[in-house]
Chain A
Amino acid sequence: MSLLWFLVMVGAILSATAGFVYVVYALSKVGTIGRSREDIVGEADVSADSVFNTEFREELKNRGRLHFENVINENAMFLQQDLRLTTSQLNEFMKEEIKTVLKDEFATYEESISNAKDQAIDAIQKTQNLIEEQRALITEQLQNQAAAEKAEVIARFEKNMGEIINHYIIESIGTEIDLSDQLEYIFLNLQENKAAILEDFRNGA
């Protein structure tokens, strides 16, 4: 569209220039045969002065100005339209560019986030593994310790079981077993050890 307007404008300028050249050429042909160049030039100057007098030049100026203004106005309109179009295209372009850039940035951002997420998951996984290992180790240690303590308690219990049972029985029976009930046992043991006691007396006296 702008190219078309440009061509029309160039055509108009070329047409005006061609007309102007033609007028100058036609005017230069009138009355030039058989006269010296200086005369012709002088005559042309006079003619030119008479033709291109002040009014005519003003008229041309006005016409040129009007034409120029028209051209300018038209071109301004074209330029405005073109500018609008360009602005619109530029907007579209900017939108697309921004979209692309944002898309790329978002993609980069997503990738970064994804990497960070992977790293975080990896770190968490490692931590979990470590915790699991520690837990297993502590569990094993606790089990070993508990087993050792249990064995120690059992060993201590077995070692002191006689004392424990004795304590328990004596605490339980208290003074329930009357001495008179033990008479038979007492005299039986004394009688069985009579010889030894006599021997002690003989040796110890």
Chain B
Amino acid sequence: MALKLPNSIGGKRDLILATRQVEQILNDRLQDEVRERFGAKKVGTKAGQQMLGELLETNKLKDDTQSLKQLLQQLEGIRQHSPQIRISFAQEPDQDLYKRIVAWFRTEIDPGVLVQIGVQPAIGAGFILKSPMRRYDFSLKTKILSSTPKFLEVLHRAK
């Protein structure tokens, strides 16, 4: 069964962070198992567990070492093979909007797609989408620039 990424893990950067988090937690738990075996005091983990929690919940996995190992392998597979898309806005989207955009791509395009968010203030408004094959420009800047003949027409009419 293919691993489903939660919408909070949208892009490659999030995926790498999640992988490191899972790796850290797995290492800490392995250390604790060894300590337990030798009667030493458990240390626990200091790594954040939010991403792991979402991953386990989304995929309905158990929170044990075996599941974490499988999770780690699947995350690595996704990082290497999943398609990527980049979408740029004039400003940084908030978390809710980010999740909605990621959700749309994973629902409508590909469940394993990694969505990278970029910021280009120069576009003013709208967005620019870079798919594996093409570039879609729905920015205000391009809209204005493509309307230059109309501006000129209006300008000459106003003379």
Contact = CB atoms under 8 A, between A and B. Distances in A.
A162 B144 contact: yes
A186 B137 CA distance: 11
A182 B109 CA distance: 21
A166 B144 contact: yes
Secondary structure of the A contact surface, majority rule: helix
Interface in B112-129: 113, 121-127, 129
Contact of A203 (B89, B121, B133, B140): B133
A177 B141 CA distance: 13
A70 B32 CA distance: 180
A201 B91 contact: no
B43 interface: no
Contact of B104 (A175, A187, A199): A187
Interface residues of A, number: 32
Nearest to B150: A162
Interface residues of B, number: 39
A162 B109 contact: no
B126 A185 contact: yes
A186 B101 contact: yes
Contact of B133 (A163, A170, A200): A200
Interface of B: 83, 85, 89-91, 93-94, 97, 100-101, 104, 108-110, 113, 121-127, 129, 131-134, 136, 138, 140-141, 144-148, 151-152, 155
16 contacts: A165-B151, A166-B144, A166-B145, A170-B124, A170-B140, A182-B126, A185-B126, A185-B138, A186-B101, A187-B104, A193-B129, A194-B108, A197-B131, A201-B132, A203-B133, A204-B83
